[in-house]
Structure 1
Amino acid sequence: MGSCFSAAQQQESQESVDVSRRATSAVSPLPPSSQSSEDILRRAGDQYTRRRRPSQSIPMKPVLSALRTYATLPDPASSLSASTLLLSTPNTIAIFDAYPKAKYHFLVLPRYPFPPQSHPESTKSIVKLDVLDDLKSLLLKAGAEQREEVINTMAEMAGEIEEMIRDEMVKTEGFEWKIDVGFHAIPSMKHVHLHVISEDRISPSFKTKKHQNTFRPDLGFFISVMDVQRWIQQDEAYISERVDVGTSSGCLASQLNLPLAKQSLSSAGALLDAPLTCFKCDEPFHNLPKLKQHLEKEFAEEKTQALKQIASHGRQRDSDEDSL
């Protein structure tokens, strides 16, 4: 168990250091609130080309605590730049991922203090700070009602972001494609966070086999928020099993032989050694550049097919048929 956790953290240590350095500073406040969510989201393209330099300092603690720093800010809107902060509520914030692994990639964080939704203006928190260290801590340390409120609140904000992304997809590419929402079984940074990432995996920051395997929706390291929501409807024994089962044999073979529903958080580090494979068509690749070329080709083909369907039928999503 310990070795898997260490390896996963060490592999991403350089990126974590870079993110932490960025978090040491606050920058210009967000634009006026009259801006639409689509205008805010359109700035996602800036993530790949430039970053605003900070103008004043936010104290930083350990190297992996950049997200914790963001989550504990009393007023994120006045402390974080428009290139960092996407949305904020009394309970949650959404930020641009510093190293996006797809065309659209955001993180949803529970804020601390995390007030009860019945009294969002309260300065009291329904959970202690260490409960929000990661998904494992949240599942094991929080009470049933508290963890459900935190996870469902994060999922609710993720749903809002999904709609923003879909609107922007149509504006920029003319069609919508799949969006994945989930947690990493073993996170690289402190403070539980939910990834909202488009399933194209096209980005200059998508650089390594580890990046591919940490975000593969079919492997088990990336855990759908819907799966976690199902977990927390079960009893404590079931939740403990999802966290710790298989930790004594955290090798790749043992994990891959388990169905996704039986894999655990603690032993998921072995999954990062899985072969480099396209999760859409199962084609294997010997190196990441070849996989990236393949993903770009798949995206182009998906776009062509979607645009033809829209031209022929005037719609794309199956859900559109239900509303007719």
Structure 2
Amino acid sequence: MWKRKVESTTSKPTKKCHWSTGLLKSMEDPECKIKEDDKIIVINDKYPKAQFHYLVLPKEDILSIWHVQGKHHDLLIHMHNVARTLVEKQSNHEFIMGYHAMPSMQRLHLHVISTDFNSPCLKTKYHWNSFTTPFLLHSSDVCRQLRETGEVKKIPTETWKDYLNTNLKCHKCSTQPKNMPDLKRHLLTHIDSKQQ
């Protein structure tokens, strides 16, 4: 005869968090943090899509770039300036800084990513296109738009989906690889030629 397992009434059930809230947990993790001030926290991306991939997050609870208002202009300028100091420390690498048109993670975050895109975490066409097409809203453009209009103009769903579905194309030359393994092999030629 099977006995039913009696659950203890003293243990509290563990609350499961949705994966999209992972950045909030990383912001609290001292091992993830690389910089912090009274307005922002900088963390290493847990799944970097390049050799260097940082995220600059505000301490203020702003869900995404589409929840930014005119009053956040100074904060976004500060995030941009913090990102630039990170880039200056790696002067032998090129970087891009921007926000995804449709962020998958909760909490506004600015991507600061080196353009080598040399990472085992870069696996899909969507990963690639999210950084190499207008799906990435460049930080300086976002700051300018917010200053001039008091808002960031939302990209229509069909438009950002088209960006993610764009055919693969190298961001440094006209090569159009047929798949991700081909693209990743091709990217190494740009890294090798830079090191010679």
Q: Please state which band the TM-score falls in when normalised by the shorter chain.
A: 0.7 to 0.9
With normalisation by structure 1, the TM-score equals 0.53
Report the counterpart of residue 51 of structure 2 in structure 1. 103
Report the counterpart of residue 81 of structure 1 in structure 2. 30
Q: CA deviation at 1:282?
A: 2.1
Q: Which runs of 5+ in 1 are unaligned?
A: 1-58, 113-128, 167-175, 251-266, 305-324
Q: Structure 1 CA distance, aligned partners of 2:25 and 2:39?
A: 15
Q: CA deviation at 1:61?
A: 3.5
Matches within 5 A, 1:235-314: 235-236=149-150, 239=151, 242-244=153-155, 246-247=156-157, 250=158, 267-304=159-196
Are residues 91 and 60 of structure 1, via their aligned partners in 2, closer, same or farther at CA, if it must alter by over 3 Å? farther
Q: Does 1:199 align with 2:144?
A: no
**1:264-302, Cα deviation, whole Å (9 max, x unpaired):** xxx412211000110111211111111111100111112
Q: Structure 2 CA distance, aligned partners of 1:135 and 1:198?
A: 21
Matches within 5 A, 1:153-232: 153-166=78-91, 176-216=92-132, 219-232=133-146
Q: Which runs of 5+ in 2 are unaligned?
A: 1-14
Q: Does 1:90 align with 2:15?
A: no
SS at match of 2:41: strand
SS at match of 1:278: coil
Report the counterpart of residue 264 of structure 1 in structure 2. none
**1:47-69, Cα deviation, whole Å (9 max, x unpaired):** xxxxxxxxxxxx76333111134
Q: Structure 1 CA distance, aligned partners of 2:119 and 2:171?
A: 17
- Name whichever structure is richer in helix by fraction: 1
Larger relative contact order (CA 8 Å, sep ≥ 6): 2
Whether the 8 Å contact between 1:64 and 1:190 is mirrored in structure 2 is: yes
With normalisation by structure 2, the TM-score equals 0.86
- Name whichever structure is richer in strand by fraction: 2
Report the counterpart of residue 133 of structure 1 in structure 2. 63
